[in-house]
């Protein structure tokens, strides 16, 4: 105050707290590995991904052998979450009930209820937690020394394999199967699913040196991921196989059904996404690849603002064969990609915050399309006419040339129709030669239809016609047709 006597003046203090309200003054900033930061933002952020050409589908289904993570609730025998109820003998029904603080002590694993104001604590309550076993341990096979048996027929015991599983109960029940037999000997052996005893079921020859690979399996239901289907225009049967992305043998595909299933435990902490390339092949060796997952990549942006000003939404142009999750930044294909039509895509991802007057951040994305052998060779010419002299073997007739749009062309030339006893074609170069001399007097014109093994079609461009005109040579002596009598 302002008392006249300075020594009698009195004063008091107070605390003023100023809360600074966040304003939308910062742009979203993309973050990527190895970026150079400037004022908290990446300089020229660019993302690059590589995906295969073909049809793309999204995986469905859950995970097998999910691990227990932090934050799981404990449940009682009735399946209800465990909770605590505290009573105090000093309080009557009309007294206000304090909000108790619960503390978990270690290592005794006891719970104590404490009053916040008086710090009075209850007697400790001991807890007992029983962990339920999950099927998270694979069976382990014991080593089996090499086995020698005599050649011949009949049912004979080869060996007995055993495996152990550290799980308990039904999770530790093991079944056995033969995974692989060398020298195409799968039909010559059988294994008992329960005991692991291996017996012969076919003739064994003295020259055979056979290696068997056995696989124990825990009792785990196969989780179906998806079902793929391919149709052959010629109605030939189609066989499916996984050709990439299954290095740990965690997935299997039915050769005839196309059902893709999980056969081993997946660990999300180790790998969150899998990309499988599945091949559908007919009897002629023609194939069509597809993938069982359409994931391309993830972009990530941060915003130093708070609240709605820091909520980021991602978007990409609508005229490209990709889509993006607006919340997570995950990019996936929206339609099949064709390497031969376009092998690279470049587009911009926009990150927009949630403020009414939104601020933006951008990043460049480059997607490289990997080529797959999905194109067949084609001929640009439909006909070639040549003339060669008669009676000369190993003469170069002509050289045909087909074009394969794939990155790694696969072209094998073959004569589909014509005198293969008189002509031959080099399967690699396409050069046509005679195998022996032609005879003008027997046949003046030869027609050959040349194609490729990779393309068995009959449409325009699938084959080429080679017309060979044989030139006459003076190789026949004159013959008297009549002799007058004298």
Q: For residue 149, what is the domain's CATH number?
A: 2.60.40.60
pLDDT of residue 152: 74
pLDDT of residue 57: 31
Domain count, the chain: 4
In the structure encoding, which two tokens stand for residue 45, read together? Answer: 């952020």
Residue 230 clears pLDDT 70, i.e. is over it: yes
Residue 282: which pLDDT band, with cuts at 50, 70 and 90? confident
- What is the distance between the alpha carbons of residues 253 and 263, in angstroms, rounded to a whole number? 10
Residue 271 clears pLDDT 50, i.e. is over it: yes
Q: Are residues 196 and 272 in the same domain?
A: no
Q: Are residues 385 and 410 in the same domain?
A: yes
Residue 184 clears pLDDT 70, i.e. is over it: no
Phi, psi of 352 (to 5 degrees): -120, 130
The three-point CA angle 238-242-247 to 5° equals 170
Residue 413 lies in a domain: yes
- What is the distance between the alpha carbons of residues 108 and 364, in angstroms, rounded to a whole number? 55
- In DSSP terms, which residues pair with 379 in a beta bridge? 402
Digit-coded pLDDT (tens) for 335-348: 878 887 888 899 99
pLDDT of residue 405: 81
Residue 149 lies in a domain: yes
- What is the distance between the alpha carbons of residues 48 and 309, in angstroms, rounded to a whole number? 28
- What is the distance between the alpha carbons of residues 321 and 317, in angstroms, rounded to a whole number? 10
pLDDT of residue 62: 27
Q: Are residues 287 and 238 in the same domain?
A: yes
The three-point CA angle 17-23-29 to 5° equals 125
Residue 102 lies in a domain: no
- In DSSP terms, which residues pair with 280 in a beta bridge? 240, 288
Q: Are residues 254 and 338 in the same domain?
A: no
Residue 66 clears pLDDT 70, i.e. is over it: no
Residue 429 lies in a domain: yes
In the structure encoding, which two tokens stand for residue 139, read together? Answer: 């069976």
Q: Are residues 336 and 355 in the same domain?
A: yes
Residue 421 lies in a domain: yes
Residue 3 lies in a domain: no
Is the Cα torsion angle 244, 245, 246, 251 positive or negative in sign? negative
Q: Which of 370, 405, 435 is the last residue of a domain?
A: 370
pLDDT of residue 314: 93
Q: Which of 243, 271, 291 is the last residue of a domain?
A: 291
In the structure encoding, which two tokens stand for residue 137, read together? Answer: 């341990």
User: Using a CB cutoff of 8 Å and minimum separation of 24, what contacts does 312-320 make?
Assistant: 312/28, 312/351, 312/352, 312/353, 312/354, 313/351, 313/352, 313/353, 313/354, 314/349, 314/350, 314/351, 315/349, 315/350, 315/352, 316/347, 316/348, 316/349, 316/350, 316/365, 317/347, 317/348, 320/345, 320/347
**More confident of the two residues 384 and 286:** 384
pLDDT of residue 245: 75
CA dihedral angle for residue 183, residue 186, residue 192, residue 196, rounded to 10 degrees: 30
279 CB neighbour count, 10 Å cutoff? 19
Q: What is the mean pLDDT of residues 106-126?
A: 68
Burial class of 52 by CB neighbour count within 10 A (0 to 12, 13 to 18, 19+): buried
339 CB neighbour count, 10 Å cutoff? 20
Window from 1-10, 42-51, 296-305, 307-316 with minimum mean pLDDT: 42-51
Residue 365 lies in a domain: yes
Digit-coded pLDDT (tens) for 354-411: 888 888 888 888 888 877 766 788 999 999 999 999 888 889 999 999 988 877 788 9
Residue 162 clears pLDDT 80, i.e. is over it: yes
Q: Are residues 230 and 199 in the same domain?
A: no
- What is the distance between the alpha carbons of residues 173 and 302, in angstroms, rounded to a whole number? 49
- What is the distance between the alpha carbons of residues 253 and 268, in angstroms, rounded to a whole number? 21
- What is the distance between the alpha carbons of residues 54 and 339, in angstroms, rounded to a whole number? 9
322 CB neighbour count, 10 Å cutoff? 23
Q: Are residues 330 and 393 in the same domain?
A: no
Residue 239 clears pLDDT 90, i.e. is over it: no
**More confident of the two residues 213 and 282:** 282
For 452, the domain range is 378-471
Q: What is the DSSP string of 35-54?
A: PPEETTEESS-EEEEEEESB
pLDDT of residue 130: 66
- What is the distance between the alpha carbons of residues 247 and 117, in angstroms, rounded to a whole number? 61
Phi, psi of 54 (to 5 degrees): 125, -175
In the structure encoding, which two tokens stand for residue 267, read together? Answer: 């660990």
- What is the distance between the alpha carbons of residues 333 and 274, in angstroms, rounded to a whole number? 15
Q: Are residues 465 and 385 in the same domain?
A: yes
Alpha carbon distances (Å) from 144 to 162, 166, 183, 399, 452: 9, 20, 20, 58, 49
Q: Which of 347, 370, 393 is the last residue of a domain?
A: 370
393 Cβ contact partners less than 8 Å away, ≥ 6 residues apart: 434, 435, 436, 437
pLDDT of residue 23: 67
DSSP at 61: S
- In DSSP terms, which residues pair with 337 in a beta bridge? 54
Window from 25-34, 215-224, 251-260, 296-305 with minimum mean pLDDT: 215-224
Of 222, 61, 72, 67, residue with least CA distance to 133? 67
Centroid of chain to Cα 131 = 34
Residue 292: which pLDDT band, with cuts at 50, 70 and 90? very low
Can you give the length of the chain in residues?
A: 486
174 CB neighbour count, 10 Å cutoff? 19
Residue 34 near residue 42, CB atoms below 8 Å: no
**More confident of the two residues 179 and 356:** 356
For tokens 């790998």, name the residue: 271
Of 325, 329, 365, residue with least CA distance to 345? 365
Digit-coded pLDDT (tens) for 20-43: 776 666 666 665 555 555 555 555
Residue 264 near residue 138, CB atoms below 8 Å: yes
Of 473, 322, 313, residue with least CA distance to 390? 473
pLDDT of residue 463: 93
- What is the distance between the alpha carbons of residues 196 and 200, in angstroms, rounded to a whole number? 13
Residue 99 lies in a domain: no
Centroid of chain to Cα 187 = 31
The DSSP element (H or E) to which 391 belongs, if any, is: none
Residue 316: which pLDDT band, with cuts at 50, 70 and 90? very high
Q: Are residues 211 and 229 in the same domain?
A: no
DSSP at 182: G
DSSP at 44: S
């Amino acid at each position: 105050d302002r008392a006249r006597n300075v020594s009698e003046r009195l004063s008091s203090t107070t605390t003023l707290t100023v809360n600074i309200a966040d304003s939308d003054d910062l742009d979203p900033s993309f973050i990527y590995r190895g970026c150079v930061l400037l004022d908290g933002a990446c300089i020229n952020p660019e993302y690059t991904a590589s995906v295969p050409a073909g049809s793309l589908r999204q995986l469905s289904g859950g995970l097998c052998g999910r691990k227990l993570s932090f934050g799981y609730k404990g449940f009682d025998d009735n399946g209800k979450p465990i909770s605590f109820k505290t009573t105090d003998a000093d309080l009557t029904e009309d007294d206000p009930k304090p909000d108790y603080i619960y503390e978990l002590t270690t290592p005794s694993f006891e719970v104590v209820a404490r009053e916040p104001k008086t710090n009075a604590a209850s007697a400790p309550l001991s807890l007992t937690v029983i962990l339920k076993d999950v099927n998270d341990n694979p069976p382990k096979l014991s080593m089996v020394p090499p086995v020698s048996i005599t050649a011949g027929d009949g049912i004979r015991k080869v060996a007995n394999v055993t495996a152990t599983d550290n799980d308990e109960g039904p999770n530790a029940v093991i079944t056995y199967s033969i995974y692989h037999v060398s020298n195409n000997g799968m039909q010559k052996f059988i294994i008992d699913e329960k005991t692991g005893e291996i017996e012969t079921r076919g003739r064994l020859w003295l020259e055979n040196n056979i290696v068997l690979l056995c696989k124990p399996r825990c009792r785990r239901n196969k989780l179906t991921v998806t079902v793929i289907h391919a149709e052959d225009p010629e109605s030939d049967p189609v066989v499916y196989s996984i050709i990439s992305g299954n290095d740990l043998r965690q997935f299997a595909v039915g050769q005839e059904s196309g059902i893709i299933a999980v056969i081993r435990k997946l660990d999300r902490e180790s790998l969150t996404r899998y990309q499988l390339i599945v091949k559908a092949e007919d009897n002629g060796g023609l194939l069509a690849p597809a993938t069982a997952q359409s994931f391309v990549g993830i972009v990530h942006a941060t915003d130093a603002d708070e609240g709605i000003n820091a909520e980021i939404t991602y978007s990409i142009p609508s005229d490209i064969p990709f889509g993006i999750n607006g919340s997570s930044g995950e990019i996936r294909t929206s339609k099949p990609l064709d390497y031969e039509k376009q092998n690279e895509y470049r587009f911009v991802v926009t990150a927009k915050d949630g403020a009414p007057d939104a601020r933006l951040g951008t990043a460049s994305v480059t997607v490289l399309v990997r080529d797959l052998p999905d194109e067949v060779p084609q001929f640009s010419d439909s006909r070639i006419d040549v003339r060669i002299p008669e009676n000369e073997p190993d003469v170069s007739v002509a050289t045909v040339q087909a074009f394969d749009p794939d990155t790694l062309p696969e072209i094998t030339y073959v004569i589909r129709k014509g005198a293969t006893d008189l002509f031959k074609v080099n399967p690699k170069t396409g050069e046509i030669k005679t195998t022996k001399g032609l005879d003008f007097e027997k046949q003046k014109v030869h027609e050959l239809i040349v194609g490729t093994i990779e393309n068995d079609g009959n449409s325009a461009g699938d084959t080429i016609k080679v017309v060979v005109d044989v030139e006459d040579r003076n190789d026949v002596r004159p013959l008297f047709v009549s002799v007058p009598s004298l």
